[in-house]
Amino acid sequence: MDLVNAQQTRRILDRLVGYKLSPFLWQKVRRGLSAGRVQSVAMRLIVDRERERMAFKVDEYWTVDSEFEKEKIIFPAKLIKIADKKVEKLGIQTEKEAKKITNDIEGSTFNVTSVTKKQVSKSPPKPYTTSTLQIDANNKLGYSSKQTMMLAQRLYETGRITYMRTDSVSLADKFLNETQEYVKINLGSEYAVGVNRYKTKSKGAQEAHEAIRPTDVSEHPDTMQATLEPQEHKIYELIWRRTVASQLPSAKLNRTAVDLTAKHYTFRANGSSIAFDGFMKVYQPSKSKILPDLNEGDNVDAIHVTANQHFTEPSARYSDATLVKTLEEHGIGRPSTYAPTISTIIDRGYVERDDNKKLSPTDIAMIVSDLLVEHFQNIVNYEFTAELEQTLDNIAEGKVEWVPMLEGFYKPFEKNLEEKSKELNREDIMPDKELGTDKETGLPIMLRSGRFGAFIQIGEYTKEDKEAGKPKPKSASLLKGMHFESVTLEDAIQCLSFPKDLGDSGDGNHVMVAIGRFGPYLKCGDTTASINKDYNPATIDLETSKIVLKEAAERKKKMETPIAELGDDPTTKTPILVKHGRYGPYVTDGETNATIKKDIDPETITKEMAIEILIKKRAAPKRAKYKKKK
């Protein structure tokens, strides 16, 4: 009953926060927003990281690198010391300093002054929990947390893996013994040295399930390719290899560090080789830098010394993997909440994925985060949220009574919410900002917040103007990468310059570049084309625009023209077509669309092959379709 009480306390807490705070945001900011005990903290983490990036000052620095050759083996090394002082402390700030070093070194013969060799042992990884699977799938496969859990769910439903929502790293004795037998037969007795048992270190872990593992270790990933979809297969292979690796011995690596000196400059080369691959036999094969056999006193030639310019970079935006890891480190949320939390803050318009699939906050996220930090601090406080998780764990252990705990949380929360509902209005939370004056009209250029985010507007548009039927003043959306709090007058003028007429396309139509709800685009007659990240809508010229529009028209024509017409399908009695799609070639009978595998040339598809592909697609489990609530 303690576990039951902890679970229902968690659910009640989440509903108290979500159901009470979300309507407050609808009233004070805009409809469709939501707040939550975990999602609001995740959003704040992303917002705080973005502000760190915006405030970051870029600095220039230089490094000196060299390639050396010995016994026909070329290997790289970095300058680490100048006259016994570490380069990282001295700092090489300018090209002039770096070039002085390279010129001084030119033509020198280097002497090996130190060779350090040691063998290190690398322990096998633990089996997957929910969070570590999401982190690895994001880092290695580029899958989002939601995508990973969806694929793992399918594997679980078809009996391929054990339950995928778990924070346990333990494995069943039966499976451990079967794995040792499998390893002995397939990898060799030197890899079957006994079972490895793991214990979850997290104090509050709810170990109701095993770690995520294959249900049958003998089902090697190579034998599953024909029965699994490509993405499912990649997740299964990740789980199989990680689980088997957890039961293999440690790997042994030979690591070598070599110092090479000429005059008063010291370079260091690092390399390693595998003495015994151990768990690396199936998981994370090592790509080692190979060094030649070097001994102290050897002379080595520097064949290429270079000065390289670098710039300091701000902290990277969160990816799914790093956000999950940070939430876990803070002790916020449970394994089952990470994927839906990330999905929710994306669906609510708080967060977008940038071109590198990293999580970037929108303007509305910054507004809501500031509002919650200032007026509902506990809801987005990292320490408070972690303490709340600890309290829930204490309820599960029978150390804390659940009803008084809820009462202690809710009464001050409700009182504060009532006060803020009366005290705050929309204009206080999202005030307009005047950036300057429009030269043509003399009216102020305003930065405002609207239903779809921040936008620029020339002049005011009052309720009276609307009732009088006056035309709306000119307005423009912000360009991608612009944020409400950092927009300048120059940025605003650039946004207002759209739509722009780039000139005659040559066929009587004019090419226009404009900014739409989904980003910048080109329009010429009936043809439109999105402007991708390779081009800047502010600087794109007429000739480039013609090329982009031509490519878009060709793609559209290609997709409309079938690759092959194969006759009627015996099941649906409708024509079978092989077509080009947005995500690659596919077969269709007008009702069922089936992707053609990458290793099959779509032009070689026969009617029999197409029928078989369609039958298999119809027989596949239907994916659930979720409708967004209004």
**What is the number of H-type helices and E-type strands within the chain?**
19, 21
What pairing do the DSSP bridges indicate for beta strands 265-276 and 251-262? antiparallel
Report CA dihedral (272, 240, 325, 402) to the nearest 10 degrees.
-150
Strands 60-70 and 85-86: unpaired
Give alpha helix (H) positions in 249-381: 320-330, 338-347, 363-375, 377-380
CB atoms within 10 A of CB 346: 16
Reduce the DSSP state of residue 132 to 3 states and report it: helix
- CA 431 vs. chain centroid, Å, equals 32
3-state class of 603 per DSSP? helix
* Secondary structure class of 187 (helix, strand, coil): coil
- Which of the following is catalytic: 61, 156, 163, 461? 163
Whose tokens are 């990468």? That residue is 481
Round to whole Å and give the CA distance between 94 and 107.
23
Taking a C-beta distance cutoff of 8 angstroms, is the pair 130, 181 a contact?
Answer: no
Q: Is 318 a catalytic residue?
A: no
Which of 613, 87, 35 is closest to 369 using CA atoms?
Answer: 35
The Cα–Cα gap between 145 and 143 comes to 7
Which residues are CB-contacts of 576 (< 8 A; sequence separation ≥ 6)?
Answer: 565, 566, 567, 568, 569, 587, 588, 589, 607, 610, 611, 614
CB 445 within 8 A of CB 44: no
- Are 224 and 194 spatial neighbours (Cβ–Cβ below 8 Å)? no
Residues with active-site annotation: 163
